[in-house]
Structure 1
């Protein structure tokens, strides 16, 4: 019933933890599609893989010529028929994900990463939810942070924030601030791929683009309140090392879908006012201009900017914000606590998120 899609490259040291957590799920009607994206890590020397829960699988591949990651997958596939170990030449995460999707036989697709761990009840709870809520196309779950909060405070804050977005409306409103879902926590109906397309390859985060595209096509999403996943944060995680996950790439793909949303929902389209007048804020907001949005003014609190024109537009003190219904605002105020400050300020002026303003940072 479920095809668990697990792309992997050079992850022999963490892969047994992930595989064991999936093969010990209480929901057993699954296939585990592990796509080896051209791993070339050094063959294992024969020591046992210390999987989570005491895995005693061993391998000796010093003379076989295959990678350590491939050796792990072959060993698991030999001992559990649910493991389908696929291999491809190194092509990247999007190619690996879509290769796995074409091989998937399940009614549902679950995601998993090779350095994380799933709770034993994860898949059962997510499948139960989708069965009981046929109008929902995708369900995620809350995740625990498995890295160092001191060394990776930004990742930890992002995860804490995503864990607050549980229902469809919260996910919809949150999508333009940041990616509202942790990719490997999701389970979705395979029919969505047939109807709305699979992962796209380009200069953007492939998971964020997928959520934005599916939400723009009215796919309903939800998140379980239970914490059923451990999201680890190794230093080699793709989101740390690949250019497609850069800040500017996030804002560029966000601008495309935010502009589409504004076309449908902004009663003053194409005009918006932007909260924030700093250089970085302006650069990110002005990405909307290429999609037909017109920025009429900046709203700020910096006295050095007030009553000046920046980029040909006036800078107005935010206390002079028009009454609700007179303008639509998009906030690009970033920084820790910035969005919360904007929410408090606009809420005190009678503005409602989604009706009068959106947070985009």
Structure 2
């Protein structure tokens, strides 16, 4: 039985330092029936020429210029030229493990439609990883090994953008690359969640994820922290917010204040609670701050937690559990 064709969508811009390694990692895949669709997003370096040389020697490699500007337009351009039964994305500075395509394609073949294949990731950086990226890697892989990625989707992006695969029909059904919302990878993860595609558990590292100081996700305004909060709020209000229940914000730090401003702008009523004695009883943005005990006075509330401290989060979770409150129904961690 022939292998289904896998389309690998790869936008790139000024990555001539890394793109050779990326392409070689694709050529080394144990799964052979793939097409790699590279789209140049107005590069100024030698990236296009490098890909063109590979294209001349392997017909599975396709190369196009971006029809517009930016990563979303590049993704659209690539997808327009794709033909695969399965769709996946790759970044031009990362590396596939040789079994990545085989593992994901076989998982989808076994599970069928309405499923999302994901894989564990390993960050790497020439001068060493920061603690933040190491913690993110550990957190993400703990979710992936059980396939419960959506359970903490409001914390961070739970689907690594260069390490997912799904049926073409499912990809089209959830809007594919047609959304104009940034961050585009986080928006797509939320649309997978909205469509209720089940994540297939994976206990293998399938991608080596490169970090460096000039990565787009580190430098572009579309990937700023405020953008992440905006997208979290929009999807929370659409998918999880119960208008019949009072809403409480936990925490009045920088993220809590930003969240409050977003909700006020959208005319969403909320109660604001914290444990800072200097803020309790005061008003911020004309909203009174209450002690954490005030939550007990609210009738069946939903809570958004913006408290980042790990120990404090554990204490908050313990409190919710004593109240028999459930994650992703009664409370949501936004950090």
Q: Distance in 1 between matches of 2:60 and 2:226?
A: 40
| Corresponding residue for residue 62 of structure 1 | none
Q: How far did residue 336 of structure 1 move? A: 5.4
Q: Distance in 2 between matches of 1:300 and 1:342?
A: 11
Q: How far did residue 211 of structure 1 move? A: 1.5
Q: Distance in 1 between matches of 2:192 and 2:265?
A: 22
Alignment check: 8 A CA contact 2:123 2:129 kept: no
| Corresponding residue for residue 119 of structure 2 | 141
Deviates more, 1:134-143 or 1:114-123: 134-143
- CA deviation profile, 1:195-251 (whole Å, cap 9, x unmatched): 221225646201111111232233333452211110010222110111100000111
| TM-score, normalising length: structure 2 | 0.89
| Corresponding residue for residue 316 of structure 1 | 290
Alignment check: 8 A CA contact 2:121 2:205 kept: yes
Query: Which secondary structure state, in structure 2, belongs to the residue aligned with residue 184 of structure 1?
Result: coil
C-alpha distance 169-88 of structure 1, shift in aligned 2 (>3 A): closer
Query: Which secondary structure state, in structure 2, belongs to the residue aligned with residue 322 of structure 1?
Result: helix
| Corresponding residue for residue 234 of structure 2 | 256
Q: Distance in 2 between matches of 1:290 and 1:169?
A: 35
| Corresponding residue for residue 174 of structure 1 | 152
Is the counterpart of residue 294 in structure 1 residue 269 in structure 2? Answer: yes
Q: How far did residue 346 of structure 1 move? A: 2.5
Q: How far did residue 164 of structure 1 move? A: 1.7
User: Where does the alignment leave 5 or more consecutive residues of structure 2 unmatched?
Assistant: none
Is the counterpart of residue 21 in structure 1 residue 31 in structure 2? Answer: no
C-alpha distance 150-335 of structure 1, shift in aligned 2 (>3 A): farther
Alignment check: 8 A CA contact 1:324 1:350 kept: no
User: Where does the alignment leave 5 or more consecutive residues of structure 1 unmatched?
Assistant: 42-67
| Corresponding residue for residue 244 of structure 2 | 268
Alignment check: 8 A CA contact 1:118 1:230 kept: yes
| Corresponding residue for residue 325 of structure 2 | 351
Is the counterpart of residue 332 in structure 1 residue 306 in structure 2? Answer: yes
- CA deviation profile, 1:256-295 (whole Å, cap 9, x unmatched): 11111234xx3734x2011112354122244234445320
Q: Distance in 1 between matches of 2:197 and 2:213?
A: 33
Q: Distance in 2 between matches of 1:213 and 1:319?
A: 35
Deviates more, 1:299-308 or 1:95-104: 299-308
Tell which structure's C-alpha radius of gyration is larger: 1
Alignment check: 8 A CA contact 1:299 1:316 kept: yes
Q: Distance in 2 between matches of 1:83 and 1:312?
A: 58
| TM-score, normalising length: structure 1 | 0.83
Alignment check: 8 A CA contact 1:259 1:288 kept: no
Q: Distance in 2 between matches of 1:132 and 1:3?
A: 19
Is the counterpart of residue 128 in structure 1 residue 132 in structure 2? Answer: no
Alignment check: 8 A CA contact 1:203 1:249 kept: no
